[in-house]
Amino acid sequence: MKQLIILITAIALIMTSCYKNPVADFIFSPAEPIAGEDVYFENFSYDSESFQWEFDDGMGSTAYSPVHAFATAGKYNVTLKAYGKRSGFDVAYATVTVSASYPYADFYISTDVPDDNGSKALETDVVFIGEQITFNNISTDAASVMWEFGDEYTSTIVSPSYSYDAPGTYTITLNAYGLGDEVDSYSRTIEVYEGINSTVRITVLEYEDEYYVEGASVLLFPTITDWENETNGSYEVFTSALGKCVFEGMEAQRYYVDVWEQDHDNYTLAGESVDWIETQVLESGYIHDFIAYVDYYESGKKVTMTRIGKKAYAKELVSQKESSEYRKVKENKFSKER
Protein backbone atom coordinates (compact mmCIF):
# COMPACT_ATOMS: atom_id res chain seq x y z
CA MET A 1 0.00 0.00 0.00
CA LYS A 2 2.83 2.33 0.91
CA GLN A 3 4.46 1.61 -2.45
CA LEU A 4 1.21 2.51 -4.28
CA ILE A 5 0.99 5.86 -2.54
CA ILE A 6 4.60 6.61 -3.42
CA LEU A 7 3.90 5.72 -7.09
CA ILE A 8 0.83 7.95 -7.30
CA THR A 9 2.75 10.85 -5.76
CA ALA A 10 5.57 10.40 -8.20
CA ILE A 11 3.23 10.41 -11.16
CA ALA A 12 1.56 13.55 -9.88
CA LEU A 13 4.90 15.25 -9.53
CA ILE A 14 5.87 14.24 -13.05
CA MET A 15 2.62 15.52 -14.49
CA THR A 16 2.90 18.75 -12.59
CA SER A 17 6.37 19.33 -13.90
CA CYS A 18 5.01 18.98 -17.46
CA TYR A 19 2.71 21.98 -17.07
CA LYS A 20 4.95 24.98 -17.76
CA ASN A 21 4.01 28.46 -16.67
CA PRO A 22 2.25 30.49 -19.43
CA VAL A 23 4.08 33.35 -21.11
CA ALA A 24 2.06 36.25 -22.56
CA ASP A 25 3.36 38.20 -25.53
CA PHE A 26 1.89 40.11 -28.46
CA ILE A 27 2.51 42.78 -31.09
CA PHE A 28 0.11 45.09 -32.93
CA SER A 29 -0.10 46.87 -36.25
CA PRO A 30 -0.20 49.49 -37.58
CA ALA A 31 2.24 51.03 -35.15
CA GLU A 32 0.58 54.46 -35.36
CA PRO A 33 -3.14 53.90 -35.98
CA ILE A 34 -5.66 56.67 -36.47
CA ALA A 35 -9.01 56.85 -34.76
CA GLY A 36 -11.49 54.34 -36.18
CA GLU A 37 -8.81 52.33 -37.98
CA ASP A 38 -8.61 48.57 -37.40
CA VAL A 39 -5.68 47.55 -35.18
CA TYR A 40 -4.50 43.95 -35.52
CA PHE A 41 -3.21 42.29 -32.33
CA GLU A 42 -1.03 39.25 -33.04
CA ASN A 43 -0.72 36.82 -30.14
CA PHE A 44 2.73 35.26 -29.53
CA SER A 45 1.92 33.74 -26.15
CA TYR A 46 2.92 30.14 -25.44
CA ASP A 47 2.11 27.46 -22.91
CA SER A 48 -1.31 29.10 -22.69
CA GLU A 49 -4.84 27.83 -23.18
CA SER A 50 -7.07 30.91 -22.91
CA PHE A 51 -6.75 34.66 -23.19
CA GLN A 52 -8.31 37.85 -21.95
CA TRP A 53 -7.67 41.15 -23.74
CA GLU A 54 -8.47 44.57 -22.26
CA PHE A 55 -8.22 47.54 -24.64
CA ASP A 56 -8.48 50.32 -22.04
CA ASP A 57 -11.57 51.80 -23.72
CA GLY A 58 -14.18 49.69 -21.97
CA MET A 59 -13.92 46.91 -24.51
CA GLY A 60 -12.29 43.49 -24.31
CA SER A 61 -11.94 40.19 -26.15
CA THR A 62 -11.20 36.49 -25.57
CA ALA A 63 -10.11 35.88 -29.16
CA TYR A 64 -6.64 34.51 -29.80
CA SER A 65 -5.58 37.45 -32.06
CA PRO A 66 -8.35 40.06 -32.05
CA VAL A 67 -8.93 43.07 -34.27
CA HIS A 68 -10.03 46.27 -32.57
CA ALA A 69 -10.67 49.90 -33.54
CA PHE A 70 -10.29 52.77 -31.09
CA ALA A 71 -13.01 55.36 -31.63
CA THR A 72 -11.09 58.39 -30.43
CA ALA A 73 -7.53 59.61 -30.28
CA GLY A 74 -5.45 58.96 -27.17
CA LYS A 75 -3.08 56.55 -25.46
CA TYR A 76 -4.49 53.12 -24.60
CA ASN A 77 -2.77 50.64 -22.28
CA VAL A 78 -3.65 47.28 -23.79
CA THR A 79 -3.41 44.22 -21.52
CA LEU A 80 -3.21 40.54 -22.48
CA LYS A 81 -3.67 37.87 -19.81
CA ALA A 82 -2.57 34.43 -20.95
CA TYR A 83 -3.87 31.56 -18.77
CA GLY A 84 -2.08 28.22 -18.49
CA LYS A 85 -3.53 24.74 -18.20
CA ARG A 86 -3.54 25.09 -14.44
CA SER A 87 -4.44 28.24 -12.53
CA GLY A 88 -1.39 30.27 -13.44
CA PHE A 89 -1.35 33.23 -15.82
CA ASP A 90 1.00 35.80 -17.29
CA VAL A 91 0.35 39.39 -18.35
CA ALA A 92 1.74 41.42 -21.27
CA TYR A 93 1.28 45.14 -21.79
CA ALA A 94 1.60 47.59 -24.67
CA THR A 95 0.64 51.23 -25.16
CA VAL A 96 -1.21 52.03 -28.38
CA THR A 97 -1.08 55.70 -29.36
CA VAL A 98 -4.03 56.58 -31.56
CA SER A 99 -3.99 59.77 -33.61
CA ALA A 100 -7.03 61.73 -34.69
CA SER A 101 -8.01 61.71 -38.37
CA TYR A 102 -9.67 65.05 -38.97
CA PRO A 103 -11.69 65.20 -42.19
CA TYR A 104 -11.80 68.34 -44.31
CA ALA A 105 -15.17 69.04 -45.92
CA ASP A 106 -15.33 70.79 -49.28
CA PHE A 107 -17.48 70.71 -52.41
CA TYR A 108 -18.59 72.66 -55.44
CA ILE A 109 -21.82 72.72 -57.43
CA SER A 110 -22.03 72.12 -61.17
CA THR A 111 -24.58 71.79 -63.94
CA ASP A 112 -24.08 70.07 -67.28
CA VAL A 113 -24.44 72.04 -70.52
CA PRO A 114 -24.34 70.60 -74.03
CA ASP A 115 -21.28 71.24 -76.16
CA ASP A 116 -19.60 69.84 -79.27
CA ASN A 117 -18.26 66.87 -77.28
CA GLY A 118 -21.61 65.98 -75.72
CA SER A 119 -21.68 67.93 -72.47
CA LYS A 120 -19.46 69.67 -69.99
CA ALA A 121 -19.85 70.71 -66.38
CA LEU A 122 -20.06 74.37 -65.39
CA GLU A 123 -19.57 75.38 -61.79
CA THR A 124 -22.49 77.45 -60.61
CA ASP A 125 -24.17 79.10 -57.65
CA VAL A 126 -27.26 80.06 -59.67
CA VAL A 127 -29.76 77.44 -60.92
CA PHE A 128 -33.37 77.07 -62.04
CA ILE A 129 -36.33 75.11 -60.72
CA GLY A 130 -36.10 71.50 -61.91
CA GLU A 131 -32.53 71.85 -63.19
CA GLN A 132 -30.41 68.85 -62.24
CA ILE A 133 -27.21 69.86 -60.54
CA THR A 134 -24.38 67.88 -58.98
CA PHE A 135 -22.83 68.46 -55.59
CA ASN A 136 -19.21 67.47 -56.20
CA ASN A 137 -17.56 66.20 -53.03
CA ILE A 138 -13.84 67.07 -52.85
CA SER A 139 -13.45 66.42 -49.13
CA THR A 140 -10.35 64.70 -47.78
CA ASP A 141 -9.97 62.06 -45.04
CA ALA A 142 -13.74 61.55 -44.87
CA ALA A 143 -15.04 58.05 -44.12
CA SER A 144 -18.66 59.07 -44.69
CA VAL A 145 -20.74 62.16 -45.46
CA MET A 146 -24.13 63.67 -44.81
CA TRP A 147 -25.59 66.35 -47.10
CA GLU A 148 -28.21 68.87 -46.05
CA PHE A 149 -29.82 70.56 -49.07
CA GLY A 150 -31.50 73.42 -47.22
CA ASP A 151 -35.02 72.17 -47.99
CA GLU A 152 -35.28 69.52 -45.23
CA TYR A 153 -33.91 66.80 -47.52
CA THR A 154 -30.61 65.01 -46.91
CA SER A 155 -28.37 62.43 -48.56
CA THR A 156 -25.44 60.17 -47.69
CA ILE A 157 -24.34 59.72 -51.33
CA VAL A 158 -20.75 60.85 -51.89
CA SER A 159 -21.55 63.27 -54.76
CA PRO A 160 -25.33 63.43 -55.22
CA SER A 161 -27.37 64.93 -58.06
CA TYR A 162 -30.33 67.07 -57.06
CA SER A 163 -32.92 69.60 -58.20
CA TYR A 164 -35.09 72.14 -56.40
CA ASP A 165 -38.85 72.54 -56.71
CA ALA A 166 -39.23 76.13 -55.54
CA PRO A 167 -37.33 79.40 -56.05
CA GLY A 168 -35.34 80.85 -53.21
CA THR A 169 -31.99 80.95 -51.49
CA TYR A 170 -30.76 77.61 -50.16
CA THR A 171 -27.79 76.83 -47.93
CA ILE A 172 -26.23 73.46 -48.67
CA THR A 173 -24.12 71.90 -45.92
CA LEU A 174 -21.74 68.97 -46.29
CA ASN A 175 -20.83 67.15 -43.06
CA ALA A 176 -17.71 65.02 -43.48
CA TYR A 177 -17.06 62.37 -40.83
CA GLY A 178 -13.73 60.79 -39.95
CA LEU A 179 -13.14 57.19 -38.95
CA GLY A 180 -13.76 58.13 -35.32
CA ASP A 181 -16.06 60.83 -34.00
CA GLU A 182 -14.35 63.67 -35.89
CA VAL A 183 -16.51 65.82 -38.14
CA ASP A 184 -16.03 68.87 -40.35
CA SER A 185 -18.75 70.90 -42.07
CA TYR A 186 -18.76 73.23 -45.05
CA SER A 187 -21.63 75.26 -46.49
CA ARG A 188 -22.40 77.07 -49.74
CA THR A 189 -25.40 79.18 -50.73
CA ILE A 190 -27.25 78.75 -54.00
CA GLU A 191 -29.91 80.91 -55.68
CA VAL A 192 -32.77 79.06 -57.36
CA TYR A 193 -34.74 80.98 -60.00
CA GLU A 194 -38.15 80.18 -61.41
CA GLY A 195 -37.05 80.83 -64.98
CA ILE A 196 -40.03 82.89 -66.15
CA ASN A 197 -40.60 82.88 -69.93
CA SER A 198 -37.33 83.37 -71.82
CA THR A 199 -34.37 83.20 -69.47
CA VAL A 200 -30.60 83.40 -69.71
CA ARG A 201 -27.89 82.67 -67.15
CA ILE A 202 -24.76 84.69 -67.81
CA THR A 203 -21.29 83.80 -66.56
CA VAL A 204 -18.64 86.51 -66.70
CA LEU A 205 -15.12 85.11 -67.28
CA GLU A 206 -11.84 86.89 -67.82
CA TYR A 207 -10.59 86.05 -71.31
CA GLU A 208 -6.98 84.96 -70.63
CA ASP A 209 -7.15 83.05 -67.33
CA GLU A 210 -10.91 82.36 -67.32
CA TYR A 211 -11.45 83.33 -63.70
CA TYR A 212 -14.88 84.42 -62.47
CA VAL A 213 -15.52 88.16 -62.20
CA GLU A 214 -17.61 89.00 -59.16
CA GLY A 215 -19.64 92.19 -58.82
CA ALA A 216 -19.71 93.03 -62.53
CA SER A 217 -22.58 95.15 -63.85
CA VAL A 218 -24.47 93.39 -66.66
CA LEU A 219 -27.06 94.83 -69.08
CA LEU A 220 -28.84 93.32 -72.07
CA PHE A 221 -29.74 95.27 -75.21
CA PRO A 222 -32.14 94.15 -77.97
CA THR A 223 -29.93 95.35 -80.88
CA ILE A 224 -26.26 96.09 -81.46
CA THR A 225 -27.19 99.74 -82.08
CA ASP A 226 -28.86 99.87 -78.68
CA TRP A 227 -25.76 98.28 -77.16
CA GLU A 228 -23.51 100.94 -78.70
CA ASN A 229 -25.76 103.84 -77.68
CA GLU A 230 -26.96 102.48 -74.31
CA THR A 231 -30.63 102.69 -75.31
CA ASN A 232 -33.53 100.35 -74.51
CA GLY A 233 -31.42 98.44 -72.05
CA SER A 234 -32.64 95.84 -69.57
CA TYR A 235 -32.59 96.17 -65.81
CA GLU A 236 -29.09 96.02 -64.31
CA VAL A 237 -27.86 92.95 -62.43
CA PHE A 238 -24.55 92.17 -60.72
CA THR A 239 -22.63 88.93 -60.82
CA SER A 240 -22.25 86.51 -57.91
CA ALA A 241 -19.03 85.15 -56.45
CA LEU A 242 -18.92 82.69 -59.37
CA GLY A 243 -19.54 85.43 -61.94
CA LYS A 244 -23.21 84.44 -62.43
CA CYS A 245 -26.38 86.45 -62.99
CA VAL A 246 -29.82 85.70 -64.41
CA PHE A 247 -32.25 87.58 -66.64
CA GLU A 248 -35.86 86.35 -66.60
CA GLY A 249 -38.96 87.33 -68.54
CA MET A 250 -37.07 88.26 -71.72
CA GLU A 251 -38.35 88.11 -75.30
CA ALA A 252 -37.58 85.14 -77.57
CA GLN A 253 -34.80 86.90 -79.46
CA ARG A 254 -31.06 87.53 -79.40
CA TYR A 255 -29.61 90.05 -76.97
CA TYR A 256 -26.32 91.91 -76.76
CA VAL A 257 -24.49 91.68 -73.46
CA ASP A 258 -22.80 94.69 -71.87
CA VAL A 259 -20.41 93.85 -69.01
CA TRP A 260 -18.55 96.44 -66.98
CA GLU A 261 -16.51 96.19 -63.80
CA GLN A 262 -13.88 98.64 -62.60
CA ASP A 263 -11.07 96.42 -63.90
CA HIS A 264 -12.90 94.52 -66.67
CA ASP A 265 -15.23 94.97 -69.64
CA ASN A 266 -16.13 93.25 -72.92
CA TYR A 267 -15.88 96.32 -75.17
CA THR A 268 -12.65 95.48 -76.98
CA LEU A 269 -13.81 91.93 -77.60
CA ALA A 270 -17.09 93.29 -78.98
CA GLY A 271 -15.10 95.47 -81.39
CA GLU A 272 -13.31 92.37 -82.68
CA SER A 273 -16.48 90.31 -83.19
CA VAL A 274 -20.14 90.72 -82.31
CA ASP A 275 -20.17 86.99 -81.45
CA TRP A 276 -18.44 87.82 -78.19
CA ILE A 277 -21.54 89.67 -76.95
CA GLU A 278 -24.47 88.24 -78.96
CA THR A 279 -26.59 85.60 -77.19
CA GLN A 280 -28.46 82.75 -78.78
CA VAL A 281 -32.20 83.20 -79.44
CA LEU A 282 -33.78 82.92 -76.00
CA GLU A 283 -36.51 80.41 -76.75
CA SER A 284 -38.81 79.62 -73.84
CA GLY A 285 -38.72 76.07 -72.49
CA TYR A 286 -34.92 76.06 -72.45
CA ILE A 287 -32.20 76.88 -69.98
CA HIS A 288 -29.84 79.20 -71.84
CA ASP A 289 -26.27 79.79 -70.71
CA PHE A 290 -24.06 82.51 -72.12
CA ILE A 291 -20.39 83.01 -71.26
CA ALA A 292 -19.54 86.71 -71.37
CA TYR A 293 -15.78 86.99 -71.74
CA VAL A 294 -14.10 90.19 -70.61
CA ASP A 295 -10.64 91.74 -70.70
CA TYR A 296 -8.71 92.78 -67.63
CA TYR A 297 -7.19 96.28 -67.61
CA GLU A 298 -4.23 97.13 -65.40
CA SER A 299 -4.58 100.24 -63.28
CA GLY A 300 -2.32 102.27 -65.58
CA LYS A 301 -4.38 101.34 -68.63
CA LYS A 302 -7.82 102.29 -67.35
CA VAL A 303 -9.73 105.02 -69.13
CA THR A 304 -12.11 107.17 -67.08
CA MET A 305 -15.22 107.76 -69.18
CA THR A 306 -18.82 106.60 -69.55
CA ARG A 307 -19.76 103.21 -70.90
CA ILE A 308 -20.68 104.74 -74.26
CA GLY A 309 -17.35 106.54 -74.36
CA LYS A 310 -15.43 103.39 -73.49
CA LYS A 311 -17.21 101.44 -76.22
CA ALA A 312 -16.40 104.08 -78.82
CA TYR A 313 -12.79 104.24 -77.64
CA ALA A 314 -12.44 100.43 -77.77
CA LYS A 315 -13.97 100.36 -81.25
CA GLU A 316 -11.45 102.94 -82.44
CA LEU A 317 -8.52 100.94 -81.04
CA VAL A 318 -9.77 97.75 -82.67
CA SER A 319 -10.10 99.52 -86.02
CA GLN A 320 -6.35 100.11 -85.95
CA LYS A 321 -5.63 96.38 -85.73
CA GLU A 322 -5.24 93.89 -88.52
CA SER A 323 -8.07 91.37 -88.65
CA SER A 324 -5.47 88.65 -88.16
CA GLU A 325 -4.88 90.07 -84.69
CA TYR A 326 -8.48 89.46 -83.66
CA ARG A 327 -8.97 86.71 -81.13
CA LYS A 328 -10.83 83.55 -82.08
CA VAL A 329 -14.25 83.48 -80.45
CA LYS A 330 -14.52 80.87 -77.71
CA GLU A 331 -17.58 78.68 -77.38
CA ASN A 332 -19.98 80.77 -75.34
CA LYS A 333 -23.58 79.70 -76.05
CA PHE A 334 -25.24 76.65 -74.47
CA SER A 335 -28.92 75.68 -74.37
CA LYS A 336 -30.74 72.66 -72.93
CA GLU A 337 -34.41 71.79 -72.60
CA ARG A 338 -35.97 72.30 -69.21
- Please say if the pLDDT value at position 182 is more than 90: no
Domain match, 242 and 328 both: yes
C-alpha to C-alpha distance for 278 and 268, rounded to whole angstroms? 14
pTM of the model: 0.73
Domain boundary among the residues 174, 193, 212 is at: 193
Cα end-to-end distance, the chain, whole Å: 106
Q: Do 76 and 169 belong to one domain?
A: no
Q: What is the pLDDT of residue 300?
A: 61
Measured between alpha carbons, how far is residue 250 from residues 74, 201, 253, 283, 288 in Å?
62, 12, 8, 9, 12
In the structure, what pLDDT confidence band is assigned to residue 3 with cuts at 50, 70 and 90?
Answer: low
3-state secondary structure of 147: strand
Instruction: Tell whether 188 is covered by a domain.
Output: yes
In a domain, 1, yes or no: no
One domain for residues 86 and 137? no
Kindly report, residue by residue over 26-57, the tens digit of the pLDDT.
999 999 998 889 999 999 999 999 999 999 99
Tell me, what's the pLDDT at 268?
96
- Has residue 251 been placed in a domain? yes
Same structural domain for residues 56 and 158?
Answer: no
Same domain, 53 and 36: yes
- The answer as to whether 87 is a domain residue is yes
* Residue-wise pLDDT tens digits, 69-115: 998 889 999 999 999 987 799 999 999 999 887 899 999 999 999 88
Q: Find the radius of gyration of the CA atoms of the chain.
A: 36
Write the Ramachandran bin of 179: left for phi over 0, alpha for psi from -120 to 50, otherwise beta.
alpha
Mean pLDDT of 11-34: 78
Judge whether 167 lies within some domain. yes
Q: Is residue 244 part of a domain?
A: yes
80 neighbors 26 (Cβ within 8 angstroms): yes
Looking up residue 312, the CATH number of its domain turns out to be 2.60.40.10
In this structure, the answer to whether residues 246 and 160 fall within a common structural domain is no
Instruction: Specify whether the CB–CB gap between 290 and 275 falls below 8 A.
Output: no
Domain end marker among 139, 162, 193? 193
Bridge partners (DSSP) of residue 171 are 189
Note whether 153 and 30 are same-domain residues: no
Question: What is the number of structural domains in the chain?
Answer: 3
Q: List, in sequence order, every residue forming a beta bridge with 173; answer none if it has no partner.
A: 148, 187
Whether residue 173 has pLDDT greater than 50: yes
Looking at 193, 217, 233, the residue that finishes a domain is: 193
132 in any annotated domain: yes
pLDDT at 117 over 60: yes
The C-alpha atoms of residue 32 and residue 13 are separated, in whole angstroms, by: 47
Contacting residues for 175 by C-beta, under 8 A, at least 6 apart: 105, 145, 146, 147, 148, 183, 184, 185
226 with 119, same domain: the answer is: no
Task: Quick: pLDDT tens for 262-299.
Answer: 999 999 999 999 999 999 999 999 999 999 999 999 86
For residue 256, tell me if it sits in a domain: yes
Residue-range definition of the domain harbouring residue 52: 20-98
pLDDT at 10: 46
Per-chain mean pLDDT for the chain: 91
In this predicted structure, what is the pLDDT of residue 121? 93
pLDDT at 18: 57
Angle value at C-alpha 276, between 271 and 279, nearest 5 degrees: 130
pLDDT, position 46: 94
Q: Are residues 94 and 117 in the same domain?
A: no
Question: pLDDT at residue 260 above 80?
Answer: yes
Residue 2: the pLDDT is: 54
111 and 91 within one domain: no
Same domain, 320 and 227: yes
Q: Are 87 and 119 in the same domain?
A: no
Is a pLDDT exceeding 50 seen at residue 122?
yes
